[in-house]
Chain A
Amino acid sequence: MPAPAISVENLQKYFPPALSGWKALVYPVARATQCALENVSFSVMPGESVAIMGPNGAGKSTLFRILATLVIPTRGHAAINGFDVESDARRTRSQFGYHTGGDEGFYARLTARANLAFFAAMNDLPSAEIASRTSAAAERMGIADSLDRQVRTFSTGMTHRLGLARAILHDPSVLLLDEPTRSLDPLAAADFRKLLKDDLVRGHGTTLLFSSHSVAEVEEIADRVMLLEKGRIAAFDTPARLRASTGTASLSDAVTRLMRTPSVDGAGQ
C-alpha cells in the first residue's frame, strides 16, 4: 500500500483572541484559547480527490493554511508526501501547489506571463525552463492567448485559471485548493471543475484536496468527502457511503443530516 500523499494526525489549532486598543498593548502575546481545529486526523492517498465541506468557521481554511505551511499548528502533525509541514516546511512546499478562491495574489500591472515567470523563479525552476513551463501551464489552464495581457485586465474566472496555472508550475503532486470556484459564475465554475477533474486528477494523477460549499461540485470531483464542523471531523467517506449511512437519496441531504448530528470522534481515521 503506498504511503499517503497527505497525512494529518491529531491536529489541533487554537488562536489567541483578537485584541485591540489597550488590551493589545498589555497582552501582546495573548494565550491561544479559540479553537479552530480539534483532534483532526485523516489521510489522503496519492491520486485521490478529497473534498472538505462544512459551514463557515468550521476550520476548513485553517486546515488548508496549516498544510500550506502558512499557519503553525498548536499540537499534532501534518505531512505532505512524508514531509512535516512544521519541521520541514521548505521541502513540504516543493510538494504542493496552493490556490484559494479569493486569490487576487498577482501583480496587477505585470502581464500574466511575467507573473508566472516570477513565481516560477521563486519555485526554483531553472531559468532555461521557465518560458516553456509558463506556456505549458497556461495552455493547460486555457489562458495561453492571454499571457501577454496585464493581470488587471483579467476577469475573475481568468484570474482563477492563472492562480491554478501558478499552482501547477512546478509540477506538484498535491494540489491544495481552498474554495477554488468561489466567486466564479456557474459557467466558469463548470469549466473549472472540468479542468480539475479531467486534466489534473484523471490526466496527471494529481492528489487533490479542495474545499467547497457546492454539493454538485463535490459530487462531480471528489472520491471522498470530509465534513468539518466546529473544528472536528463529523464524517469522512465516499459520497455513496455517506448517502447510505444516513439513509438519504442525495449527498445534499446526507450532508445536512450529518451536520445536525453531534460530531463523531475518530470519524476521519
Chain B
Amino acid sequence: MSALSSGRRTLGKIAAFFLRDFAIARGYRGAFVLEMFEALFGVATFYYLSKFVSSPELSSAIPGGNNYFAFALVGFAFFDYLGISLTAFESSIEEARQNRTLEALLVTQTPLPVILAGSAAYPFASLALRTIVYLAWGYLLFGFAPHSVNWLGAIVILLASILAFAGLGILSASYSMIFKRGNPAKWLVLGVSGLVGGMMYPVSILPRPLQILSRIIPVTYSLEGMRAALLSGASWPVLWPSIGALLIFAAVLIPASFVVFAWALRRTKITGTLTHI
C-alpha cells in the first residue's frame, strides 16, 4: 500500500470518527443550544469582572492597548483547549469502556494512534465552534473589538497548541488506562496551568519563581501567542517564539505519550483489565 493511499485511508478513518461523534451529538440538540447560552453567561461574567478590576498596571501589561475584557476573554476561550486535550482522549476511552465498544474497536484494523486522533477530532472541532461563539458574543454584546488581528497567525498558534496539549492528553489517558479513575496528573496540570499560564492575568504580575514555572508549561506560550495574534495583530517574527516553543513541546510530548500509551495498553492486555471500569 502506498504512503498516499495509507494517508487517505487514515484521514477517512478520522473522518468516520468525526461523523460518528457528530451524529451522536446531533441527537442531543438541546444540550448544544444550552452550551451556546452558557458561553454567553461566561462572556458576560468576564465583561463585568473587567469593569471591576480595570487598573493602569493591568492595562499596561495587555498587548495592543486592549482592555482587560479582551485579555480575559481570549485567555478563557483558549485555555479550554488545554482542558479538552486533557479530557478528550481519556473520555473517549472511558465512554468506549462504558458502552463496551472499546474491544470492538481494538479488534479492527485501525491502529491505536488513529483511534486516539479520531476520538479527539469532534471534541476539538466542537471546541473551535464554541471559541467562535465566545468571541462572537463578546463582539456582538460587550464591545470586544480587537484593533488588528493576524488570523493566519492565530490559526497556526492554535494548531501548534493542540499538538502540544494532545501529548499531555494522551499521557493523561494512559494514566486512566491503568488506574481507571481519579487522575491527579490531570488536575495538577490544569491547576498549575490555570495558576501560572496567564489565563486571567498576565504572567508578568507573578512572583519570579512562578514566572519561571510558567516557562515550562505549554499553555503560557499558547496564550501569549494567541493574544499577540488576536489582540495586536503581531507579525510572524513576534509570534515565532511562541510557535517554536509549542512545536518543541509537541515534538517531545507526542512521541513520548504514544510510547507511554502503548505501554499502558499492553499492560492492560497482560493484566486482562482492558475493559474494567
Contacts and interface: CB of A to CB of B under 8 A. Distances in A.
Interface of A: 15-16, 28-29, 32, 36, 62, 65, 68-72, 90, 93-94, 96, 98, 100, 103-110, 114, 117-119, 121-124, 127, 166, 170
A16 B254 CA distance: 30
Given A105-B99, A108-B99, A71 B269 contact: yes
- Interface SS of chain B: helix, strand, loop or mixed? helix
Nearest to A98: B107
Contact of A110 (B13, B20, B100, B270): B20
Given A104-B100, A114-B23, A123-B110, 7 more contacts: A69-B107, A103-B104, A105-B101, A107-B99, A109-B23, A110-B23, A122-B105
A166 B100 CA distance: 14
Given A90-B109, A122-B13, A122-B108, A105 B269 contact: no
A107 B101 contact: yes
B272 A119 contact: no
Contacts of B101: 105-107
Nearest to B96: A105
B269 A109 contact: no
B4 to A, nearest CB: 15
Contacts of B267: 29
A68 B9 contact: no
B109 A123 contact: yes
B16 interface: yes
20 contacts: A28-B178, A32-B271, A36-B272, A71-B269, A72-B270, A90-B111, A93-B107, A93-B109, A96-B107, A98-B107, A103-B100, A104-B99, A107-B20, A109-B23, A109-B24, A110-B23, A122-B108, A123-B108, A124-B109, A127-B12
Interface residues on B, range: 20 to 34
A110 B25 CA distance: 10
A121 B103 contact: no
B266 interface: yes
A15 B271 contact: yes
Contacts of A119: 104, 108
B106 interface: yes
B274 interface: yes
Interface string B52-94: 0000000000000000000000000000000000000000000
B100 A93 contact: no
Contacts of A93: 107-109
Contacts of A29: 267
A11 B50 CA distance: 67
Interface of B: 9, 12-13, 16, 19-20, 23-24, 27, 99-111, 178, 266-267, 269-272, 274
A70 B103 contact: yes
- Interface SS of chain A: helix, strand, loop or mixed? loop
A206 B217 CA distance: 54
A62 B104 CA distance: 16
A65 to B, nearest CB: 7
Nearest to B270: A72
Given A70-B103, A109-B27, A122 B269 contact: no
Contacts of A107: 20, 24, 99, 101
A121 B266 contact: no
Nearest to A86: B269
Contacts of B99: 104-108
Contacts of A166: 104
A32 B270 contact: yes
A119 B96 CA distance: 14
Nearest to A97: B107
Contacts of B100: 103-105
Contacts of A98: 103, 107
Contacts of B106: 69-70
Nearest to B16: A121
Contacts of B12: 121, 127
Contacts of B109: 90, 93-94, 122-124, 170
Among A71, A107, A108, A121, which residue has the most Cβ atoms of chain B within 10 A? Answer: A121
Contacts of B269: 70-72
Contacts of A68: 103, 107
Contacts of A62: 272
Contacts of A65: 272
Contacts of B27: 109
Q: Which 3 A-B pairs have the closest CB atoms?
A: A122-B108, A121-B16, A105-B104
Given A62-B272, A70-B269, A90-B109, A122 B16 contact: yes
